[in-house]
Amino acid sequence: MSQISIKHKNPLRGELTPPPDKSISHRAVILASLAEGRSVIRNFLYAEDPLSTVGAFRQMGVEIEVRRQNSEHKEEMSPTEILINGNGLSGLKNPEGPIDCGNSGTTMRLLCGVLAGQPFSATLKGDASLSRRPMKRVIGPLAQMGAVFKSDNGNPPLTVTGGQLKPISYKSPVASAQVKSAILLAGLYCDGITSVLEPEKSRDHSERMLRASGADIKIDGLSVSIKGRAVLRPFDLTVPADFSSAAFFIVAGLIVPGSEILLKNVGINPTRTGLLEVLQSMGADIRLENTREVSGEPVADIFVRHSSLTGIEIGGDMVPKSIDEFPILCVASAVAEGKTKITGAKELRVKESDRIAAMAAELSKMGVRTEELEDGLIIGGKEKLGPAAIKSYGDHRIAMSMAIAGLMTDGETIISDTDCINTSFPGFIEILDRLQKS
């Protein structure tokens, strides 16, 4: 079990390119594997979670070649290109043995959608953390479509037996891109139209990529529908930098006095960037530069400068648009003037950890006043935090968020169990050190 030590040294200055987008990397591998022909995925996230998806499709007979190059900064990720010879919707093979999804809930949930349409049974397993995460929200609609699941009361490992699926119109109780994507993927194997209606709009990477691959997909407000039996075509895609990974350095640049950071080539999909809107409402000095489109996704360079933040109330559609950024938003709130109240975020109870409870507990160790709500958190801001011994709960976003919080203390903050950072952001600490030396 590894640990890291964080001390505030200097303002953070300079530029960085965050790691490639994790959500897009997963989905690109899945759709390229189901397409007919050779796809190229450039700037793939070479990290544990997306590699679990690569391993899963290799196990089902898909030919995938990974090519790595040298990076400009040694602490930043090497550019990775992946070549995939897709087997088509009906070309996957029955895997020998269980498919190991590691710590990746995205891998497991989206694979449930793919496996629901296969003429075989397959078992999905994960690490200790993933084995505690509930899968009922994907099992329910996929079972309605005709798939059969065996599990421990909805928890992994899961055995999925596919078959002849029927289309459904599903009203999702939560705004979840993983649930929506699993249903849409299963919908590819139906005769007819499958639709999903969400209470709020979740991230739309799957819809964008399905459409680009030739799927017959329609979007009407909060409803998405897909017509089955399309032949997916191969594609050439460049993955932008991950906004969720950029978020740690966006907040660091805002809260550490004297800091100025330029984050390059960051995806700014409007279903993902609620954090920018929230921080700007709190008084953040954030500027988007060189806005453009890359492979169907909006991209920009993001400039941030130290700012005085003020607490606000956050809820409604801002929550699904910033769900993965909740831990680092809590850190920004902890040093804002006044009180911040976050509601409507019950989904956070079933992430890699209970992120509401985890952030309340760990910020409290640093002297921050917190009050847990069933669906959120109230945080009382203060100018300086106290150094502490911090738990990561094996959750990469908790570990990195609390590392940024450690920059706001006058002492040393020790964070335990930080190997989890490698699931999404290898090189995080090295980049943090470089920006403090610039």
Helix (H), strand (E) counts: the chain: 12, 23
**Is position 49 annotated as part of the catalytic site?**
no
Helices 274-281 and 326-334, interaxial angle, to 10°? 10
| Contact of 60 with 95, CB cutoff 8 Å | yes
Q: Tally Cβ neighbours within 10 Å of residue 189.
A: 25
Measured CA to CA, the distance from residue 312 to residue 282 in angstroms comes to: 7
Closest CA to 177 of 35, 23, 48, 45: 23
Closest CA to 138 of 199, 77, 180: 180
Measured CA to CA, the distance from residue 311 to residue 63 in angstroms comes to: 50
Return the half-sphere exposure (C-beta side, CA atoms, 13 A cut-off) of residue 28.
30
Q: Pairing relation of β-strands 339-342 and 376-380?
A: antiparallel
Task: Give the angle subtended at the CA of 10 by the CAs of 334 and 18, to the nearest 5°.
Answer: 75
Measured CA to CA, the distance from residue 350 to residue 333 in angstroms comes to: 22
Contacts with 374 (C-beta within 8 Å, 6 or more apart), sequence order: 346
Catalytic one among 49, 324, 395, 417? Answer: 324
Structure tokens at 25: 């990397």
CA distances from 58 to 33, 34, 69, 317 (A): 9, 12, 22, 37
Measured CA to CA, the distance from residue 7 to residue 16 in angstroms comes to: 20
Q: Tally Cβ neighbours within 10 Å of residue 371.
A: 12
Catalytic residue annotation? 324
